């Protein structure tokens, strides 16, 4: 699909089934993610690809642990229990933050990790796949942070649920109707 059209019509899909991007396709996707703007060329992110029932179930169990640790309401526990069945692949994006970097403060590094997440989503879309970026409060849980090797200042910024939409929505650009609310030209 034409690049501009893809960017203008991107949307999330939450009901995801097989197929998900293959290893070779993921390599192409991550090559796109690694080209996002990056003050200081720090590459302040790491991607973990979680696939297969065993690993997805492990992640679901960890989420449940974190719900208990953080005393999250029942609805989060229900979501955690169902997590392993939500998508065939989950791409976890961890912002690897150096709080003492001279040029790029922590917030800039976090923004770069966010850009890398978005680039991952859109690159997968360009290959014909669908996804949704979720987080939820369990990203602060001790067990999940440890599972993804988070150091003290690191932050899990995304679980990208990845696969193919069960029933793909039509692409539309209706969200471009209210540009004036978000854009001001100072001329
Ligand atoms: C940092 C971040 C965290 C998000 N966390 C969640 C989440 O936990 N659950 C959720 O349903 N959507 C979450 N979203 C929003 C979805 O990714 C998505 O953008 C939203 O459902 C709107 O759909 P659209 O992308 O098709 O416009 C998050 C988005 C961002 C940028």
The CATH H-level (homologous superfamily) assignment of domain 3-181 is NADH Oxidase (3.40.109.10)
Reported ipTM: the value is: 0.98
Q: Which residues pair with 133 in a beta bridge?
A: 160
State yes or no: 11 annotated in a binding site.
Answer: yes
Q: Is the pLDDT of residue 172 over 70?
A: no
Ligand 1 atom showing the smallest separation from residue 11 Cα: 26
pLDDT digits 0-9 by tens, 137-156: 999 999 999 999 999 999 99
Handedness of CA 104, 110, 114, 119 (dihedral sign): positive
Contacts of 56 (CB under 8 A, 6+ apart): 50, 83, 84, 85, 90
Position 80 scores a pLDDT of 94
> In this predicted model, what pLDDT tens digit does every residue of 67-126 receive, in sequence order?
999 999 999 999 999 999 999 999 999 999 999 999 999 999 999 999 999 999 999 999
- What is the whole-number distance in angstroms between the Cα of residue 134 and the centre of ligand 1? 5
Any binding-site annotation on 107? Answer: no
Q: Which of 114, 117, 133 to mutate to test the pocket of ligand 1 (most atoms within 8 A of CB)?
A: 133
21: CA distance to ligand 1 center in Å? 20
State residue 165 phi and psi, 5-degree precision.
-60, 135
């Amino acid at each position: 699909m034409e690049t501009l059209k893809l960017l203008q019509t991107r949307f999330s899909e939450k009901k995801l089934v097989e197929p998900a991007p293959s290893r070779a396709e993921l390599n192409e996707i991550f090559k796109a993610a690694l080209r996002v703007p990056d003050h200081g060329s720090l590459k302040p992110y790491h991607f973990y690809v979680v696939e297969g029932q065993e690993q997805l179930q492990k992640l679901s169990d960890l989420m449940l642990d974190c719900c208990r640790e953080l005393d999250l309401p029942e609805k989060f526990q229900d979501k955690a229990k169902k997590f392993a069945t939500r998508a065939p692949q989950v791409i976890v994006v961890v912002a690897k933050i150096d709080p003492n970097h001279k040029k790029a403060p922590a917030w800039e590094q976090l923004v770069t990790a966010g850009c890398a997440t978005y680039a991952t989503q859109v690159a997968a879309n360009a290959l014909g796949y669908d996804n949704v970026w979720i987080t939820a409060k369990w990203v602060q849980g001790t067990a999940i942070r440890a599972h993804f090797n988070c150091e003290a200042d690191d932050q899990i910024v995304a679980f990208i649920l990845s696969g193919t939409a069960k029933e793909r929505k039509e692409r539309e650009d209706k969200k471009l109707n209210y540009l004036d609310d978000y854009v001001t030209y100072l001329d």
